[in-house]
Structure 1
Amino acid sequence: MTTTITVEGMSCGHCEQTVEDALRDTNGVTDATADHEREEARVEGDAEVTALVEAVEDAGYDAEA
């Protein structure tokens, strides 16, 4: 399953990598790709949306499903 969440606060490739790493460390995530220009992250797997948002926020960015 693919889930797309909105991520605000990313400004560069390093930010994307930080968000991707946080999401990939979330239980149930098999892959994640962040795009700072589109302000979103696409996540593969069966993780709960609330867990995805929490992971991104814990990494220092604003997120919503």
Structure 2
Amino acid sequence: MSESATLTVTGMKCGGCENTIVSKVSALPGVKSVKASHQDKQVGVEFDPDQTSLDEIEDTIVDAGFKVE
């Protein structure tokens, strides 16, 4: 079973920022897909809640230098 979430993320300025978030969040266990848009200030993620939590995903984004609103 998987869950989807769309997070508002500030601090992304370019495609490189998007790639950083996608690569770091994708490395978490149970993450099935990640899409980041610096223009929309959004990160969409599909994940297995039995393997990772939304809090862990948010912490990973913050640890990468961005802010989750």
**TM-score, scaled relative to structure 1:** 0.89
> How much is the aligned-residue C-alpha RMSD, in angstroms?
1.0
Q: What's the % identity of the aligned pairs?
A: 33
| TM-fit CA distance, 1:37 | 0.6
What stretches of structure 2 of length at least 5 have no aligned partner? none
Pick one of 23, 26, 29 that aligns with 2:28: 26
Q: For the pair shown, which has the larger CA radius of gyration, 1 or 2?
A: 2
Deviates more, 1:46-55 or 1:10-19: 46-55
**In 2, Cα distance between the equivalents of 1:26 and 1:5?**
16
The residue that corresponds to 1:56 in the other structure is 61
Runs of 4 or more above 4 Å deviation:
none
**TM-score, scaled relative to structure 2:** 0.84
